[in-house]
Amino acid sequence: MIGIMLRMIALTGLYLLVVSSVKVGDVAIGLVLAALVVAAGRRHRAASSSAGSTLRRLAGVPALIGGTLVDVVTGSAEVIRCCLRRPPDPGLVRLPTGPTSPSSFATWGIRLGITPNTVVVDVDEEHGELLVHVLDARDPDGVRAEQAAAYRSRQRRTFP
């Protein structure tokens, strides 16, 4: 129930941003459109979660966004250093993602893609593995450990 409410609020907010007004009529149209989209999306989504787990996942959202912001800043600093000098040793690294679901993979991809120092090259959904390109691949195990720590502290609560 909370999940449905949140989806409707988010979609209505997006609609209001697009039309950039908060008149009553616009809010009503936005709510109707959001309800239609949520109803259409529910048909494909079988498992519905309890209110407690939704709230627990919601509590992890600030850590997800804030942590990703920190990652973006540190990753940008590394890429800037590599742009102005030679990159140390660019290379591909296999990155195990652990238990996998489509939403978890999508969050992994956006988190790694928006930080400039990692580029997702290939996704292996069967084995739960990502192929990632990094600018400093001298220590692949270090890269894996770093990303696993980032997953635990930022993503695991919200998109396990």
Residue in 134, 147, 56, 61 with CA at minimum distance from that of residue 96: 147
Which amino acid, one-letter code, is at 70?
V
Interface with another protein (CB under 8 A), residue total 35
> What are the tokens at 113?
């893609």
Which residue among 79, 105, 148, 157 contacts another protein (CB under 8 A)?
Answer: 79
Structure tokens given for 39: 């109803």
C-alpha to C-alpha distance for 59 and 154, rounded to whole angstroms: 11
- The three-class DSSP label of residue 131 is strand
Site for another protein contains 100 (CB under 8 A): no
Contact string 8-27 vs another protein (x = CB under 8 A): ------x-xxx-x-------
* 126 near another protein (CB under 8 A): no
8 Å CB contact between 97 and 128? yes
84 binds another protein (CB under 8 A): yes
Residue 52 beta carbon to another protein: minimum distance, rounded to whole angstroms:
29
* Tokens at 79, concatenated: 């890429």
Binding another protein by CB under 8 A: which of 114, 146, 149, 153?
114
> In the complex, which residues of this chain contact another protein (CB under 8 A)?
14, 16-18, 20, 72, 76, 79-80, 82-84, 87, 90-94, 109-110, 112-117, 119-122, 131, 133, 135, 137, 140
